[in-house]
Amino acid sequence: METLAHWINGSAVTEGDSVRTADIINPATGVVSGRVPLADAERTQQAIAAASDAFPAWRDTSLSKRTAVLFAFRELLNARKEELAEIITAEQGKVLADALGEISRGQEVVEFACGMPHLLKGGHTENASAAVDVHSVRQPVGVSAIISPFNFPAMVPMWFFPVAIAAGNTVVLKPSEKDPSAANWMAELWKEAGLPDGVFNVVHGGKESVDTLLSDERVASVSFVGSTPIAKYVYETATSHGKRVQALGGAKNHMLVLPDADLDITADAAVNAGYGAAGERCMAISVVVAVEDIADELVSKIAERTRSLKVGDGTRGADMGPLVTVEHRNKVAGYIDAGVEAGATLVVDGREGDVDADSADAFLNPTLFDNVSPDMSIYQDEIFGPVLSVVRVKSYDEGLALINDNKYGNGTAIFTNNGGAARRFENEVQVGMVGVNVPIPVPMAYYSFGGWKSSLFGDTHAHGAEGVHFFTRGKVITKRWQDPSQLGINLGFPTNG
């Protein structure tokens, strides 16, 4: 059984037989396709050292040359994205169309980063004081660590590394051990695009590797996406070691549906956003907040569409694939049990139904609950699976209060044809990303991605202008060329004049 290599300083680095490994499993078949090494602190430090050594030269590389490498990477990625999608489907389980969509959204960030010369422009003020000029610059921070989750093995790293690299930083990527091969594939693509050795490194591992990245003094910044408890740990640990951190956590995304909404469009959106990628999206809609006047009809329409979905192997034309592991599938099924026990109405039971796959162990069909209340675990917890809950409210105000009282604030949506209600929702909802008749409001790359409350630790979102600022730091230069008129002693604090 082949063991995946790390990618350090521009080449594959293999471990010895004694290293700890984890199985790489295709969740649609149950077949072990390989093993991933779990790096110790020493191996992780080797990757950090490679990035640290490569930083000075890459920092001093002209913007024109950096941008040329970005454009080359973009072209290679676009030409071969089907190959990457197959890797993602084989290890993560999502259907091929969804994997391609993930890559395309990541590619948007690569294209955004191709404009880095414009994004890094500073300011200049001539004659701010007598014969004194002032200008500002943005400079790279250094070694940037990226710790990415299993659900988007290509897109989430691409939220960060194109901006980091284009700005002049070097990168150490620690992907999820559940689907690690996409990271190596992208590392090889960077080399083919002409990126110098050491600028982009991949180290595989678990907690020991992560803790090394969080504590090593050569690492300047940490970008993380994952669950809220781990995001909080990453933020607290890395900031205590003097690093800047953007740690994106969990979510419980609500869709508020007002009585004037088109219920067919709304039902389609709820199903697409609730069950896409088997619900393993931080931007998935997991709660439909239905104003009571239309709740019965909306639930009926959602249920009809839910029952029509085809579940199976992502390479066989299914609508929805498996969950990432059997263990996670069983955890999600446990939430269905808990919802029934708590008294919610189980409209569609995902524990039943056919699956088109060689192994059904990691599969769970879409599940729909009605009459869910905020005290139930299926409402309170981020289930991260194909479980959609309907909460009934009496009014817009009650629905808004429900959303704002939730501890998460990642994404939300309102479905309505009332422009005034939509505008009020945009202003009043306490969530970082808002959709109006858009169920998954993931911003374009030139805007920033990030939530509020327990969905984000740190004050900087991913990509967009905030991403550029995260991977750079400001410097202001005040200068005056020497002139005989400057002669003289004056111990007073300098003033403008």
Token pair of 237, please? 């640990």
From the number of C-beta atoms within 10 Å of its C-beta (0-12, 13-18, 19+), residue 205 rates as buried
Measured N-to-C along each axis, helices 292-307 and 263-275 cross at an angle, to the nearest 10 degrees, of 60
Cα three-residue angle 398-248-198, rounded to 5 degrees: 165
Are 248 and 270 within 8 A, CB to CB?
no
Query: What single DSSP character describes residue 3?
Result: B
Are 199 and 165 within 8 A, CB to CB?
yes
Active site residue 114: no
Catalytic residue among 282, 299, 318, 336: 282
Phi and psi at 372, nearest 5°, equal: -85, 140
Phi and psi at 123, nearest 5°, equal: -115, 160
Partners of 132 in the β-ladder: 129
Token pair of 475, please? 């410097």
CA atoms of 289 and 20, how far apart (whole Å): 46
Are 316 and 322 within 8 A, CB to CB?
no
Quick one: which of 117, 238, 98, 224 has its CA closest to 166? 117
Amino acid present at 95: V
Token pair of 211, please? 């803790």
CA atoms of 98 and 100, how far apart (whole Å): 5
In sequence order, the 6+-apart residues with CB closer than 8 A to the CB of 377 are 335, 338, 339, 342
Residue 444: helix, strand or coil by DSSP? coil
In the numeric block, the tokens 């955004």 are attached to 112
| Letter string b/e over residues 346-381, b meaning 16 or more CB atoms within 10 A of that residue's CB | ebbebeebebebebbbbbbbbbbbbbbeeebebbee
Phi and psi at 414, nearest 5°, equal: -125, 140
In sequence order, the 6+-apart residues with CB closer than 8 A to the CB of 383 are 279, 286, 332, 335
Token pair of 33, please? 């396709």
Quick one: which of 161, 162, 120, 119 has its CA closest to 139? 120
Query: Where in the sequence numbering do the catalytic residues fall?
Result: 282
